[in-house]
A and B are shown apart, each in its own frame.
Chain A
Amino acid sequence: MNEILRVEDLTKTFKLSRKQQKIERTDRNVIVAVNQLSFTANKGEIFGLLGPNGAGKTTTLRMLSTLIHPDSGDAILDGCSVVRQPEEVRGKIGFLTSELKLEDFFTPNYLFDFFSHLHQVDEAIISERKQQMFSRFGIDKFAEVKVANLSTGMKQKLSLVISLVHNPDIIIFDEPTNGLDVLTARVVTDYLQELRSEGKTIILSTHIFSLVERLCDRVGVIIDGRMISCGTLDEVCNGLSLEDRFFEIYKEVKGGEE
């Protein structure tokens, strides 16, 4: 086993605004979104973070991609620390969420070049990779159409392509199928499997059991910011279906509280 990601005691607290306190129905003015989270992922596997809404999945992945800074703890990606070497980390990963948008004004062609430059991709490689990726996702026909005029599915596929311009070894994907129709979702999940077969490591988050069962080699169940169970699918499931096992775990955790 070849460990490529090590997450150690990652913790993140947010201050809550009044408005948020109301929404979350709590009097506390801080929320521990991620609580001493630790796990590892190996090279060439798909690791799934499974958890309900508000579990802390997005917060965790944002820390891994250095968009936000952990309060304590660290994560080492391919030898680089998110705390001490954020720029190096960003060079090694491709990060994708539905929140990351592309500027409407530009064409796929322009954006591919633009982001390739920001990732310091060699000029010689850019056009070859662009052609290959664009035809893989059927973007080639729309290469000169402004993002504003692309269909939602096409935009999603373009976002995926753009986040991978630099052919990163680690791909971090928050809710990969969120908001996609079945066809586009399938294109994306097929591509994730293809990437795995190329030896890439994929960290994804989801609340969809079937997605984990179909894609993931290993899974971490996260509830209220804490890692409750982590291992291969078989280890975590303990002979049950993932869904049944999840509710068992969920009751164990929440039962103690109430």
Chain B
Amino acid sequence: MKKGNNTWTIIKKEFARFFGDKQLLFTTVIMPGLLIYIIYTLMGSGMSKMATEGADDLVIVRVENLPESVAPLWENLPATALLQQPISEEEIENLEDKDLNEVLARFPKGFDTLVAHYSAESGELAPNVEIYYNSANNASSRVYQLLEGSLSAYEDQLSNRFDINRADSEEAYFDRANQDDVLGSILSKLIPMLILMLLFSGVMAIAPSSIAGEKERGTIATLLVTPMRRNELALGKIVSLSGIALLSGISSFIGIVLSLPKMIQADTAGIEMGLNYTSADYAVLLLTILATVLIMASMVSLLSALAKDVKNAGTMIVPFMLVVMFCGLTPMFQSGTPVGLASYLIPFYNSIQVMTSVFAHEMKWLPAIVMLASNVVYTGVAVWGLTRMFNSEKIMFSK
């Protein structure tokens, strides 16, 4: 007997079923990308609005030791009030309040003389100007940029005889914004969760009806009386379901990529998100999505095969979905991704961690590889399990 490829025959049938159903196609493939695009575009424009909101408000600039050379440059800036006074550490600390429209600048005593006598060859550090501001306050950052801009122009004229905001110690934070005020970091923790949810809804839309549904309608028995082997059926189902769910994942991915320019607007408008990713980042992200979809489709298929009917499958999948969603939330409670490789053996948790690290520009190869490899192994185990289930008359023909 010639051995054609039954797995492929099954995959083709599942795809024919899927692509023949316009409504299913829309809800699983078109909609996720569209939704992400719309949400992100709205978010992006909302954020760039936020980034400019209040930027023109009056800002008080407190300056210690304002040198005569700089005074004309600084005295006539728009919407600012310049106050000459000594600056206390307490005032610097208070700047963490992002509602405070202030910028603090500290010049070394006798700045002009110091600069005039400074020579780079002496090996000494150049005089340093400290400017404290809060990037979460738009007015404060606007004025900081003006001050810093005018000073660096002056510095260039003097061929770099002084420094601005030189970090002399590790604790020197001139931007007084609280790290949690930086929208980008929250966003990078939200995106993996969002991807996970969209992938899951893709799998949920198709897997229960494809397995529990076929069982319920009696169509799987018709397949089981053909000479096809059970593992061919199991593999065909999991691969095709993953493929379809992946399409919905790719659609979300395209949605993200297309809405990125809108986000970058916000990025350049002052909200730090650091959206410049390398192609390795994108590749790992795509592979992670693929591996996640595979394991997700496998698990949902297993549960669907155990279920009596589609409704029952839905009930069985809900607790599993909650666990997956919980994994999606873990980055919120963590600072940074775990170091131990063992954590990357935990399905879903591992994908989330790798995605988070990609978005945070901290992607490392070893954890990513451990994650990919373990997910492929788990999928293999799931194919084996599904084969056993298709072989089990208790599961397939329970009364």
Contact = CB atoms under 8 A, between A and B. Distances in A.
Interface in B375-399: 393, 396-397, 399
Contacts of B219: 100-103
B227 A118 contact: yes
Given A105-B17, A106-B17, A87 B217 contact: no
B227 A87 contact: yes
A105 to B, nearest CB: 6
Interface in B226-264: 226-229
Given A87-B229, A119-B227, A120-B1, A102 B393 contact: no
Contact of B227 (A67, A91, A106): A91
B392 to A, nearest CB: 9
A117 B397 contact: no
A117 B399 contact: no
A196 interface: no
A163 B396 CA distance: 19
Interface residues on A, range: 20 to 34
A65 interface: yes
Contact of B397 (A67, A88, A106): A67
B21 interface: yes
A122 B1 CA distance: 10
Contacts of B396: 67
Contact of A101 (B3, B6, B217): B217
B364 interface: no
A119 B225 CA distance: 10
Contact of A65 (B2, B6, B225, B229): B225
Interface string B11-29: 0010011001100000000
B376 to A, nearest CB: 27
B90 to A, nearest CB: 73
B224 interface: yes
Contacts of B2: 120, 122
A148 to B, nearest CB: 11
Contacts of B225: 65-67, 90, 93, 95, 100, 163
B221 interface: yes
B223 A118 contact: yes
Interface string B196-238: 0000000000000000001001110111111111000000000
A106 B214 CA distance: 13
A99 B222 CA distance: 9
B228 A118 contact: yes
A120 B222 contact: no
B9 interface: yes
Contacts of A90: 225-227
B4 interface: yes
Contacts of A120: 1-4, 227
Which one of A66, A87, A90, A103 has the greatest number of beta carbons of chain B within 10 Å? A103
A105 B218 contact: no
A110 interface: yes
A103 B1 contact: no
B98 to A, nearest CB: 57
Contacts of B228: 87, 118
A115 interface: yes
B24 to A, nearest CB: 10
A136 to B, nearest CB: 20
A20 interface: yes
Contacts of B222: 100-102, 115, 162
A119 B397 contact: no
Contacts of A68: 393, 397
A158 to B, nearest CB: 11
A114 B399 CA distance: 29
A118 B218 contact: no
Contact of A110 (B16, B223, B227, B229): B16
A117 B382 CA distance: 26
Contacts of B224: 67
A67 B16 CA distance: 27
A99 B218 contact: yes
Given A101-B218, A103-B214, A120-B2, 14 more contacts: A66-B225, A69-B393, A87-B227, A91-B1, A91-B227, A103-B17, A103-B219, A105-B17, A105-B20, A117-B6, A118-B9, A119-B226, A120-B1, A120-B4
- 4 tightest Cβ-Cβ pairs between the two chains A and B: A101-B218, A91-B227, A68-B393, A118-B226
